[in-house]
Structure 1
């Protein structure tokens, strides 16, 4: 076990959350933009799943070594560093429009985003355990609220121009400047401890599986949902609006997650939200109406994006503060494994009549059954770090 001293004081959450919101707008716009701009830059639409998997492969690799960077330079400076790194990947895409360069850029972007996630999540998780769910709700609402606004950019800026990249870079620069010149303090903790391999194996299994399933779902949704909607003959402008509704569902569910976790177990909650996702996908089979599709996507967003905050909160229950960054990194690693596998696994469903929704249906149903089984299992839970 390694212990690294951190000099810090009372944490302040406004600046990192505001910077995260600006990043989320830029990232949400970019994630929906990439699959739709492939043809414009001479790339095949089949590249969408590979680009999504390259991004999440970077997320996977980044999740393995972010912790020492945060320990060495602190949360604020680490946040700035990863935002700048992410910005550089955006610059290269319109300048070098080749599949290999885009693949590499998305891989590096994944590493940068892993850093952003670990920094902000651990920043908010360190502190009073009773208000942890509320802080995570603030984090997720800011992340998905910003992403909702970003999705709308598709219908505002012409994809045939360079303006989308200019807007995305401007938002990232604004987030970086806010961190550079805004006043915020580092999280308060005396030591930063690394979980041993034995302690990692003692972590809550349902939490780790929840993080992995969340990656499977979110990775495939961000990577392939725009193409799924396009295959359903939805116009480009409406694709942006529908993706925004999906992410809006993710934002709206966060207060429900925070409230529900006070009255029932997190495993049971994850099972119920997965069941909501199964219901949402079932609605799309009953009608081809755009209104029904919109309602289904809101419910699907609520279901899929509720799993990660519940899982990461479950994984940190009972942990001492000095293990939070390490635990966050491990759970992001589990999320990243799912994120890498998700788009590739879902791609095999795209050629079937069920499409992406078939993959989501099977994954959500299996996860709901697992979480229900785990919630009624009578076994003492082993807590990592003890």
Structure 2
């Protein structure tokens, strides 16, 4: 049992939101940049999947270590510290172009980003009611995805070669620390925080855990390999940037809809429906790969992929006391990280196949929709039996 920040006062919300938004712009640009800049730095293109996987392995590792840091120095300084570590990792990639150095840098970046996520989620997502939690979750996701969408345009505006992209990302990350450094009185209130026991963790919703893991599989592959897959259909960096931005924009647009619908229908059913939306999106992409169809299908894929995590995490937190939310959130981030670490490696096997990365998304999301439908039927049977 620990003391932990679990509720942010209203006047401090601008600090994590503004910092998160700038961080997301830098992170979105960096994630799409890396697969496209490998060749210009004399690195093999198949290293994209390894860079993505080692990053998410760092995310997984970091998800288990962040809470003591926050307890020790607080949310505000933790945010600044994790962003600083991430900045150093990007600077190392800029000056050292060996694959070993890049893999190490991406692992360290994953640990730092796990810290950013846990800090922001515990700063914003803890509320006294489901309505407040949903509102803060929407604010969190909109800031994250909105910033990530803007970051995609860096591919066309700034480019993918040389040191300039890394310099821009470093500057953006430095700017992301300014709100936290300026808002000295914005530290969340410190309340009682209860860490979940192993038995309680195992008792969390299984569809929620699967949903977070599948979200990691799909999201890790989108950020790690989708730019490379799109490059196979077009050599125009501007178009790749637009298609990546459309994917993330689809995820941002769906957030307020998800927030309203999730209160009215079963979340496991909603997870199944969003997975089926992704199946439909990949189906039309595989049939017709014209630019206009790519835009539509990738926007729908974004809606599907980016909806899974918020739905799953709210499903996991349903019925939990406010003091246990942070611990549950860390468990869900761990599940997401496992999927994110394994996803690009599994997806890489599909890259050389006839259906490529889109076929991988189709298979994963179809399997998930079937599982979620079965899980929802089992839940209904249990309720009826009781």
The TM tier, using the shorter chain, reads over 0.9
- Say whether the 8 Å CA contact 1:270–1:307 is kept in structure 2: yes
Alpha-carbon distance in 2 for matches of 1:368, 1:108: 34
Task: Note closer, same or farther for the CA distance 1:99–1:181 as it changes in structure 2 (3 Å cut).
Answer: same
Structure 1: where are the runs of 5+ without partners? Answer: none
TM-score by length of structure 1 reads 0.95
Task: Note closer, same or farther for the CA distance 1:136–1:9 as it changes in structure 2 (3 Å cut).
Answer: closer
| Deviation of 1:23 (Å) | 0.3
The answer as to 2:164 corresponding to 1:163 is: yes
- Say whether the 8 Å CA contact 1:71–1:192 is kept in structure 2: no
Structure 2: where are the runs of 5+ without partners? Answer: none
Deviates more, 1:69-78 or 1:302-311: 69-78
| Residues 249-281 of structure 1: per-residue CA shift (max 9 Å, x gap) | 011010111111121121111111111000100
Task: Note closer, same or farther for the CA distance 1:316–1:98 as it changes in structure 2 (3 Å cut).
Answer: same
Task: Note closer, same or farther for the CA distance 1:230–1:193 as it changes in structure 2 (3 Å cut).
Answer: same
What does residue 102 of structure 1 align with?
102
Alpha-carbon distance in 1 for matches of 2:89, 2:142: 26
| Residues 51-84 of structure 1: per-residue CA shift (max 9 Å, x gap) | 0001000001000111111222222121111111
- Say whether the 8 Å CA contact 2:218–2:340 is kept in structure 1: yes
Alpha-carbon distance in 1 for matches of 2:8, 2:246: 39
| Deviation of 1:216 (Å) | 0.3
What does residue 71 of structure 1 align with?
71
What does residue 112 of structure 1 align with?
112
Alpha-carbon distance in 2 for matches of 1:353, 1:295: 22
| Deviation of 1:125 (Å) | 1.8
TM-score by length of structure 2 reads 0.95
| Deviation of 1:108 (Å) | 0.2
Deviates more, 1:90-99 or 1:116-125: 116-125
Q: Name the count of aligned residue pairs.
A: 381
Alpha-carbon distance in 1 for matches of 2:157, 2:149: 13
Superposition RMSD on alpha carbons, in Å? 1.7
| Deviation of 1:235 (Å) | 1.7
| Deviation of 1:298 (Å) | 0.4
| Deviation of 1:194 (Å) | 1.3
What does residue 293 of structure 2 align with?
292
| Deviation of 1:99 (Å) | 0.1
What does residue 2 of structure 2 align with?
3
Alpha-carbon distance in 2 for matches of 1:292, 1:130: 37
Task: Note closer, same or farther for the CA distance 1:224–1:5 as it changes in structure 2 (3 Å cut).
Answer: closer
Deviates more, 1:373-382 or 1:246-255: 373-382
What does residue 149 of structure 1 align with?
150
- Say whether the 8 Å CA contact 2:62–2:112 is kept in structure 1: yes
Task: Note closer, same or farther for the CA distance 1:381–1:333 as it changes in structure 2 (3 Å cut).
Answer: farther
Alpha-carbon distance in 1 for matches of 2:34, 2:281: 26
What does residue 56 of structure 1 align with?
56
Deviates more, 1:132-141 or 1:30-39: 132-141
- Say whether the 8 Å CA contact 1:66–1:329 is kept in structure 2: no
Task: Note closer, same or farther for the CA distance 1:370–1:248 as it changes in structure 2 (3 Å cut).
Answer: same
Alpha-carbon distance in 2 for matches of 1:345, 1:122: 31
- Say whether the 8 Å CA contact 2:234–2:240 is kept in structure 1: no
Alpha-carbon distance in 1 for matches of 2:381, 2:349: 39
The answer as to 2:66 corresponding to 1:35 is: no
Alpha-carbon distance in 2 for matches of 1:380, 1:75: 43
- Say whether the 8 Å CA contact 1:133–1:258 is kept in structure 2: yes
What does residue 348 of structure 1 align with?
349
Alpha-carbon distance in 2 for matches of 1:369, 1:18: 39
